[in-house]
Amino acid sequence: MSGLPVEVRRPHVRLTRLAFENFRNYASLQLRLDGRHVCLYGANGAGKTNLIEAVSMLSPGRGLRGAEFTDLIRCDPEGRLAHNWALSADVRDGDVDRRLSLALELDEQGKSKRTARLDGAPTTQNDLAELMRIIWLTPSMDRVFVGPASDRRKFLDRQVMAHFPSHGAFSAAYEKAMRQRNALLEQGRSDPAWLDAIELGMASAGAAMAIHRVDAVRMMQAAILARPEGAFPKALIDLNGEQETQAANGMPLTDIEQEIVARLRENRAKDQAVGRTLEGVHRTDLRVVHAPKGLPADQCSTGEQKALLMGLILANAQALFERDFAPSPLLLLDEAAAHLDSDRRAALYDELAALGGQAWLTGTDRSLFDAFGDRAQRFEVSDGVVREG
């Protein structure tokens, strides 16, 4: 035994090359990345958000704008739509280089699907989610605390998915089963065996989702509390949902499943009357309190809410970086620097530098990133053309 500490943490994941074709306003793009953080600057409408949207498409889901895959196809200035888009990235995962290629595929019915290949071989959404843990902050999330619970749930589930890649598949399975259940109830078909089977599917996905959410929120909260006091206020977070409360109280997965099954069966008539499923993990909310003020986030000022959100994202990044055996996340921060005062901006860059990994930031002016010094690589974006410098 050498007595040296055993390093179990994996080196950080980063992109070393990003290329795409016919994606949004880009005819084609090829970026070489040296492993530092990445700052993209350029005028409004230049293609900065589109570029980080392309990065966000490397993990399952519909990316940071929640876009339809077909909307990503480039429409040229003459209004001609390209045939397809394709993305490819070289990912350094520790000492291993992986090549990831994604493309849109349209079937005969015109339905779109994203296909992924890893090192040339077809790969599943789940493998993709295992490799690419991506979290982001965009201006449209600014109102997440005052908007509908569905926005907060979406935000929460993205954070959870970065911890537990299967969370995405469970969410999709739950939603699909719920749609089937609602349709059956609406048709008034009394086929109890069929309903039982669908509700069992909802229960097994729902129970897993509740447990994932509780575990991820615990890790996030621990990371928030471990943060030094600084530019971004600490938040107290918890989940407002029956199944999550059960999970937090240590109820085993199979018992939570049974609870969901019982509740769905009990609610059939009520749900049929209103045409939807009234209760379940699809109604869970994330509660956030500004810790120093003891105020619910929705009662904080706009600036305070933005700062809270930034603190949450940074804390979750920290929590993800600290997990052993899991790949580290990529962090996409769209226009996050512009609204910060210069001290907070410098604090953000220091924090990102300390985290390591690869963060992608956008802003209209190069000078916004001055305080990053040589800790970031800079690119100018202009009308779908990108130049280093």
Ligand X SMILES: Nc1ncnc2c1ncn2[C@@H]1O[C@H](COP(=O)(O)OP(=O)(O)OP(=O)(O)O)[C@@H](O)[C@H]1O
The answer to whether residue 138 forms part of the interface with ligand X (CB under 6 A) is no
Q: How far is the CB of 29 from Mg ion (least distance, A)?
A: 16
Nearest to 245 by CA among 282, 214, 221, 267: 214
Candidate residues 27, 32, 66, 75; the one interacting with ligand X per rule CB under 6 A: 75
Site for Mg ion in 49-88 (CB under 5 A): 49
Measured CA to CA, the distance from residue 141 to residue 19 in angstroms comes to 27
Candidate residues 47, 60, 61, 206; the one interacting with ligand X per rule CB under 6 A: 47
Candidate residues 12, 18, 38, 49; the one interacting with ligand X per rule CB under 6 A: 49
Is residue 189 packed enough to be buried (19+ CB in 10 Å), middle (13-18) or exposed (0-12)? exposed
Q: How far is the CB of 51 from Mg ion (least distance, A)?
A: 9
Q: How far is the CB of 168 from ligand X (least distance, A)?
A: 25
Site for ligand X in 152-211 (CB under 6 A): none
Nearest to 17 by CA among 92, 79, 83: 92
Q: How far is the CB of 364 from ligand X (least distance, A)?
A: 6
The answer to whether residue 70 forms part of the interface with ligand X (CB under 6 A) is no
* Binding at 168: pick from Mg ion, ligand X, none (beta carbon under 5-8 Å per type): none
CA dihedral in degrees (315, 13, 376, 384; nearest 10)?
A: -110
Q: How far is the CB of 9 from ligand X (least distance, A)?
A: 34
Residue 245 makes CB contacts below 8 A (sequence gap 6+) with: 239
Candidate residues 16, 101, 245, 364; the one interacting with ligand X per rule CB under 6 A: 364
What residue type is 51 in one-letter code?
L
Q: Which is nearer to ligand X, 26 or 164 (CB)?
A: 26
Q: Are residues 230 and 308 in contact, defined by beta-carbon separation less than 8 angstroms?
A: no
Give the helix ranges, DSSP H, for the chain.
48-56, 125-131, 149-163, 166-187, 192-226, 242-248, 253-266, 268-274, 302-322, 342-355
Q: How many residues sit in the footprint of ligand X (CB under 6 A)? A: 15
Q: Which is nearer to Mg ion, 343 or 383 (CB)?
A: 383
Q: How many CA atoms lie within 13 A of 261 on its CB side?
A: 15
Which residues contribute to the site for ligand X (CB under 6 A)?
Answer: 24-25, 42, 44-50, 71, 73-75, 364
Which residues contribute to the site for Mg ion (CB under 5 A)?
Answer: 49
